[in-house]
Amino acid sequence: MYYTQKFEALIDIETLLNDYIDLAQYENSCKNCPNYGALYSCPPYDFDKLELLRKFTKLKIIGLQILFDKKLTGKVYSKSEISTIFCNIITPERNSFDSDLLLEEKKLNGLALYSGSCNLCQICKRKTIKPCEHPDKMRYSIESLGGDVVGLSRDYLGVNILWADKGKLPEYFLFVGGILI
């Protein structure tokens, strides 16, 4: 039905900052997302993103590719069938990928960056102005810190990010997270 493949690469922080961080561009994209200001893992932040990144010397970029059978990619799905695929495959794989990132973070004594916004609670406590429910597990993502995930995946992992389109699954999905070390 599907199988997974992992990719890893290292980039030094100066190269990341010079070539793959664009604070204004990504903050503007985030403003168009409903999660902007609604999740603690998403901007705007009460800290300086560059200061956070400069505390580290490298980013280990980690990608998980979920490749589908031709049988699955050849079909056009209804919205509810697409949500079932997300519920049964994409979300569990994303959650397990994020858990692996936390284990790797511990091993490397770094800071994990998830492959998207934090999804640990059904409704983020930021919406009700209460403290984060799981501060020990909540992490930011590369894009939320201004990172160009599309460029990093292409240039460092050698894999392009693909999206579902018009009810069709792409050949694969790619989660991209990492560990600041």
Q: Contact residues for ligand SF4 (CB under 6 A)?
A: 39-41, 118, 120-121, 124-126, 132-134, 138
Q: What are phi and psi of 113, to 5 degrees?
A: -120, 120
Q: How far is the CB of 87 from ligand SF4 (least distance, A)?
A: 18
Least distance in angstroms from the C-beta of 117 to ligand SF4: 8
Kind and range of the H or E run holding 113: strand 111-113
How far is residue 14's CA from residue 19's CA, in Å, rounded to a whole number? Answer: 8
**Which residue number, 7 or 45, has a Cβ lying nearer to ligand SF4?**
45
Q: How far is the CB of 137 from ligand SF4 (least distance, A)?
A: 6
CB burial of 5-34 (b: ≥16 within 10 Å; e: otherwise) equals eebebebebeebeeebbeeeebbeebeeee
Query: Which residue from 173, 177, 157 is spatially nearest to 67, judged by alpha carbons?
Result: 173
CB of 82 or CB of 121, closer to ligand SF4: 121
Lay out the sheet containing 111-113: strands in order across. Answer: 2-12, 58-68, 172-180, 111-113
In angstroms, give the least distance from the CB of 123 to ligand SF4: 8
Give the list of residues 6+ apart from residue 143 with CB closer than 8 angstroms, or none.
Answer: 26, 29, 30, 149
Q: CB-wise, 41 or 65, nearer to ligand SF4? A: 41
Q: Give 40 or 156: the residue with its C-beta nearer to ligand SF4.
A: 40
| Residue 9 vs 120, nearer CB to ligand SF4 | 120
Task: State the CB neighbour count (10 A cutoff) for residue 109.
Answer: 8
| Minimum distance, C-beta of residue 159 to ligand SF4, in the bound complex (Å) | 27
